[in-house]
């Protein structure tokens, strides 16, 4: 299993540009998440999905959109990039049971908006 | 969701036990304690979790006090590769559970 994969690893955007961060998992997990991590800070939840076709907002959803058409893929879309979106973005997935919710993380995408 | 408090940084000598404390004084009965770590800006890695009993796996041990208001993650024989930021997270077992990340403890394992 590859686990959770993310592309690209690095990206530089100009203000106002748009892009899609890709996330794929091969563990057949229903739950998927997008986080951002600013320097020296913990992770903040942007959006999450409990299954194909179902998404919901996290703590910091403004400026982002998501879709979940398949179990495997959970892309994150930035429509009008702003310098405040400079961050490292992590995708995660989990199998959620009643007593456990271990999340598996991808390697991250480092995004700089200039 | 209950909040957690961790020391910002700790040091440990290689080969010794690393004991990382976490305070979660407002934890409620159905909330689990989870520990993750993040090595040098990589994606976080799950370590261990528990409800009220002590837990052990191949990576670490988790000791939860009887009143559940604090816990300690123990790395029994720390190596240089254990240098990382360690996050203690309290997770509600209900349907609307989400991980709320704090700043964690930056553990430096020294040779």
Is pLDDT at B92 greater than 80 in this prediction?
no
Please determine, for residue B1, whether its predicted confidence score (pLDDT) is greater than 80. Answer: no
Q: What is the pLDDT of residue B79?
A: 96
Give SS3 for A83: helix
A63 pLDDT higher than 80: yes
- Checking if the pLDDT of A99 tops 70, the result is no
A68 vs A42: CA distance, rounded Å: 25
The confidence band for A22, taking pLDDT boundaries of 50, 70 and 90, is very high
Q: Interface of chain B against chain A, CB under 8 Å? A: 32, 34, 36, 41-46, 49, 51, 87, 91, 93, 97-99, 101-104
In contact, A16 and A84? CB cutoff 8 Å:
no
Nearest to B41 among A42, A88, A92 (CB): A88
Q: What is the DSSP string of B49-76?
A: EESSS-EE-SS-EEEE-TTSSEEEEEET
A58 in contact with B, Cβ within 8 Å: yes
In tens, the pLDDT along B58-67 reads 999 999 999 9
Widest pairwise Cα distance in chain B: 44
**What single string gives the DSSP state of each residue in B2-26?**
---B--SEEEEETTS-EEEEEE-TT
């Amino acid at each position: 299993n590859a686990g959770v994969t993310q592309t690209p690893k690095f990206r530089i955007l100009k203000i106002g540009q748009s892009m899609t961060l890709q996330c794929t998992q091969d563990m057949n997990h229903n739950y998927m998440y997008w986080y951002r991590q600013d320097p020296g800070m913990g992770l903040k939840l942007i959006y999450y999905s409990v299954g194909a076709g179902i998404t919901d907002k996290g703590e910091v959803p403004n400026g982002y959109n998501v879709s979940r058409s398949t179990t495997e893929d959970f892309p994150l879309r930035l429509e009008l990039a702003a310098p405040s979106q400079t961050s490292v973005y992590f995708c995660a997935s989990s199998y959620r049971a009643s007593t456990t919710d271990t999340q598996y993380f991808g390697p991250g995408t480092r995004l700089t908006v200039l | 969701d209950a909040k957690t408090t961790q020391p910002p940084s700790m040091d440990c000598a290689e080969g010794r036990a690393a004991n990382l404390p976490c305070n979660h004084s407002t934890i409620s009965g159905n909330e689990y304690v989870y520990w993750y770590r993040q090595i040098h800006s990589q994606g976080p890695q799950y370590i261990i979790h528990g409800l009220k009993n002590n837990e052990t796996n191949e990576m670490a041990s988790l000791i939860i006090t009887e009143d559940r208001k604090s816990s300690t993650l123990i790395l029994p024989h720390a190596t240089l590769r254990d240098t990382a930021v360690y996050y203690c997270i309290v997770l509600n077992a209900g349907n609307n559970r989400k991980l709320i990340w704090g700043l964690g403890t930056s553990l430096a394992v020294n040779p």
